Amino acid sequence: MSVDHKLSMSIDIENLTKTYSGFAALDDVSLSIKSGEFLSLLGSSGSGKTTLLMALAGFVRPDAGSIRFGGREMIFEPPHKRDVGMMFQSYALFPHMNVFQNVAYPLKLRGYKRAEIRQRVEQALATVELDHLIERGITEMSGGQRQRIALARAIVFEPKILLMDEPLSALDKRLRETMQLELRRLHERLGMTVVYVTHDQREALTMSDRIAVMSKGKIRQVDTPLNLYERPANRFIAEFVGESSCLPVSVEGGQIHFQGRALRTASQASGLQQPSLVVRPEKLQFVTSDAADFNLLQGHVSDVIFQGESQLVQVDLGEGMAVAIRRPTRSSSDNRLPVRGEAVTLGLHVQDTLVVGEQA
């Protein structure tokens, strides 16, 4: 990723707090976003991710804290003086303006000359491959086209910071996945700092340099997609990112036990409160009971679910615990799938054996 500091700006958020009648939407949030970084705010609804984005845009006035763009304090600036690009969830394209007028609007406000506006709008629309629709009305556009026009409008004045509020959530799955890759490429090409709000963890994993996971107004972990998935800081992150089962384990003399057996782990697990074993479906495999380098889990098959590209086998481990194991659907699959009720032994590789605590 090329980081040209003329094209982007760092964002520093410090001790940001916002309370709505006793409910903390932002609870002492601090976060540093590097210049040129693509950072996603990931969380369920009510986690504070949108409030944080709106505070960056200037639409939410925090109770306390600091927001700096490129080192400059912004907390007192009204929205129209923050000079950021913005993409709204509903796109917020002006219905009384056509495609050209919508995309030209930020340039018009910045006092560009007529000819330059024309040229830049055409260029921005070409970037999103809609230059042939320049004189059309907004109401004639499909959802996917509106999304692209909103994107063109957000980038047409080459903002150093681009804020995006779930811009793909209204699109169908296939279009959404295409746009994720396109937005990623666009970011690589234009190099601005992007703050991207989403509740879709797969989207966040696909696009981001780093992801900040939020819940209850706090940032729970900030990390690269890979680390977030493979090294979750706590049980909340482990359950929120990816499919996983968290199984309670006991610690006796620094040794972790599960189902009466000692677990071998890659990471240090001492000192964790209420430790849990994190088991993800794709990490498991069917093994014989003497497999080396594997921790073994014993159980009975409770269900086999066909999901297209893979099959999910649900295994009851007893004592109210269950895990799932995912297998690709290949006709040449090495061994047959077990049937319901069958006793199975599952292997979890030592390197994939992850134990997390309740809190970081």
Cβ of residue 144: shortest distance to another protein, in angstroms? 19
20 lines the binding site for another protein (CB under 8 A): no
Nearest to 299 by CA among 324, 280, 335, 326: 324
Which of 69/286 has CB closer to another protein? 69
Question: Residue 71: left (phi > 0), alpha (psi -120 to 50), or beta?
Answer: left
Distance CA 126, CA 123 (A): 5
Which of 108/185 has CB closer to another protein? 108
Distance CA 154, CA 147 (A): 11
* DSSP code, position 351: G
Which of 95/253 has CB closer to another protein? 95
Handedness of CA 61, 62, 66, 68 (dihedral sign): negative
Whether residue 162 contacts residue 88, with contact meaning beta carbons closer than 8 Å, is answered with no
340 lines the binding site for another protein (CB under 8 A): no
Which of 60/287 has CB closer to another protein? 60
Which 52-81 positions form the footprint of another protein (CB under 8 A)?
A: 57-59, 78-81
Which 37-56 positions form the footprint of another protein (CB under 8 A)?
A: none
Distance CA 177, CA 174 (A): 5
Instruction: Select the residue interacting with another protein from 15, 32, 90, 351 (CB under 8 A).
Output: 90
Cβ of residue 100: shortest distance to another protein, in angstroms? 12
83 lines the binding site for another protein (CB under 8 A): yes
Which 120-179 positions form the footprint of another protein (CB under 8 A)?
A: 153, 157, 163
Distance CA 339, CA 255 (A): 34
Which spans of this chain sit near another protein (rule: CB under 8 A)?
57-59, 78-81, 83-84, 86, 88, 90, 92-97, 101, 105-106, 109-110, 153, 157, 163
